[in-house]
A = this chain, B = another copy of it.
Amino acid sequence: MLRIITQQADVRAELLRICDRTHDEQVLHKEATVREVLQAVKRQGDKAVLHYTSEFDNQTLKPEELRVTGSELDAAYQQVSKELLQAIQLAVRQIEAFHRQRVPKSWVHFGDDDVVLGKRYTPVDRAGLYVPGGRAAYPSTVLMNAIPAKVAGVPHIVMVTPPGAGKAINPAVLVAAQEAGVQEIYRVGGAQAIAALAYGTETIPQVNVITGPGNIYVTLAKKLVYGIVGIDSLAGPSEVLIIADETANPVHVATDLLAQAEHDPMAAAILLTTDTALAKNVQVAVERQLVDHPRRIDTEKAIAHYGLIVVVESLEAAAEFSNEFAPEHLELEVKDPWAVLPNIRHAGAIFLGYSTPEAVGDYLAGPNHTLPTSGAARYASALGVETFLKHSSIIQYSQTALQKVAGAIDALATAEGLPSHADSVRRRIQQEE
């Protein structure tokens, strides 16, 4: 049963408990395993990759089987329906169109005395995309990771995903990869895949940035290799927070809460509403929709542990609770969502109005569905083209310009006790040299 809270005093503690649901101390034990995998792959390359694939994924591969072949890629198209292919193609077009907007461009600014300052943007050389396997092998994950890398102009994009039974990869994932422009795919998952991308092996190329969601082992591995490579974020279980007033449709709100809960027993689904009647009706609708839900057991777990309805006093109070939670997904199912928006400070993605269920953004509206979780929206943003770009600062001074700032640099360098810093300017402005 989806709980309803009306006591404002309890709200903060409950939201904090849900937000912090993954910050447990038990990860230290798993971290030791992950460290071992990382070290083994770093030292033994393919051999270790194959060993752990056999151990963790129960698939015994030869090195030459790691890479998905051209004929498998071709064959995948025969295994997906025409409707699914067209849906993937529509999603590719819309995601690409959105990501092509406002891509940072290199610039220089010409100042006084021939000073030139600027930023020069370049893509990373190689990007590695992690796509989970099994039940969470989603074609949408492929698109949301590959398209920003492609738009950024990354010349070498590789994908890794764990092999399923019979060494197979989900055909929808293979089709999505090709539609997004990824041809180089390796069947390897878990911490061993992250290690292979971070260090490189005989078969799998070393990359500069690793993106994509995964289980706790993948996430720990990404955290450990961060600094050797860049990463997108440390993804936790998914979450939605819905702010609704009396005008919202309780059946729709309930479905949206379940659409989050069905992802994972750790998923969080929260409703903040100003309307007691809506709270009750959503509670009933959730129960009703759970009865014959194909993923009932896991979905019920999520609803029971990390589901919550809060009756709040005002939309302003709702916005403030939402800011404290900093949800990955925020739906504003209220009469005037644009009036609530200015009060929202932290949220990964904001879905406005009655006709914008989160699923629209999950699949094909265009914005990225890889979003900060577990309160990370307080400081982080969606995966994007920027994840695969970096810039170099550009600085050119003239002799005249250098002369004018020489005294100031001397004062600063002297204060900092760095004599050669001061000398590097002083020697350049001396006439006799």
Segment with Cβ contacts to B, from A57-65, A67-75, A257-265: A257-265
Give chain A interface residues in 344-403, CB to chain B under 8 Å. 344-368, 371-372, 374, 376-382, 386, 390-399, 401-402
Report the separation of the CA atoms of residues A229 and B251 in the bound assembly, to the nearest whole angstrom. Answer: 36
A277 part of interface (Cβ distance < 8 Å): no
A255-B423, A341-B120, A428-B252 are known contacts. Are A87 and B408 too (CB-CB below 8 A)? yes
A81-B411, A367-B393, A397-B353 are known contacts. Are A418 and B360 too (CB-CB below 8 A)? no
Residues in B neighbouring A356, C-beta threshold 8 A: 395-397, 402
Report the separation of the CA atoms of residues A62 and B111 in the bound assembly, to the nearest whole angstrom. Answer: 50
A54 part of interface (Cβ distance < 8 Å): no
Chain A residues within CB distance 8 Å of chain B: 23, 80-81, 83-84, 86-88, 90-91, 98, 101-102, 104, 107, 109, 115-117, 119-120, 122, 124-125, 135, 138-140, 172, 208-209, 223, 226-230, 234, 249, 251-252, 255-256, 258-259, 261-263, 289, 293-295, 299, 330, 337, 341, 344-368, 371-372, 374, 376-382, 386, 390-399, 401-402, 405, 407-409, 411-413, 415-425, 427-428, 433
Name 21 interchain pairs, CB-CB below 8 A, sorted by A.
A86-B408, A86-B411, A87-B407, A87-B408, A91-B408, A117-B367, A119-B367, A124-B379, A140-B416, A208-B379, A209-B379, A223-B226, A230-B376, A256-B420, A259-B418, A294-B419, A341-B394, A359-B409, A360-B425, A378-B390, A381-B392
Residues in B neighbouring A140, C-beta threshold 8 A: 412, 416
A91-B412, A227-B223, A355-B402 are known contacts. Are A350 and B83 too (CB-CB below 8 A)? no
